[in-house]
Amino acid sequence: MAWSPKSAANAYLDTLKLCKFDYERHHNSFKSAEPATNEFISALAAGMCAQLIVEVSFGVSKMTIALAVAARQTGGRLVCIVPEAQALPELKQSIKDSGLKDIVEFKVGDPLELLLEYKNIDFSLVDCKTHNYSALLQLLDVNPRRSVVVANNLVGGRKGLGGHMSGMMGAVRSMKHPIGKGMEVTMIGKSDEFGKRERKAGVERVRTPRKSNWIVKVDEVSGEEHIFRVPRFI
DSSP 136-193: HHHH--B-SSEEEEEEE---TT---GGGS-TT--SEEEEEE-SSSSSEEEEEEE-GGG
Reduced to 3 states (helix: H, G, I; strand: E, B; else coil), residue 202 is: coil
Which residues span the domain enclosing 217?
5-27+34-231
What pLDDT, in 10s, does the model give residues 76-131?
Answer: 999 999 998 888 888 888 899 889 999 999 999 999 999 999 999 999 999 998 88
Distance CA 53, CA 72 (A): 11
CATH number at residue 171: 3.40.50.150
Number of domains in the chain: 1
What pLDDT, in 10s, does the model give residues 195-219?
Answer: 444 444 444 343 443 444 545 455 5
pTM of the predicted model as reported, rounded to 2 decimal places: 0.76
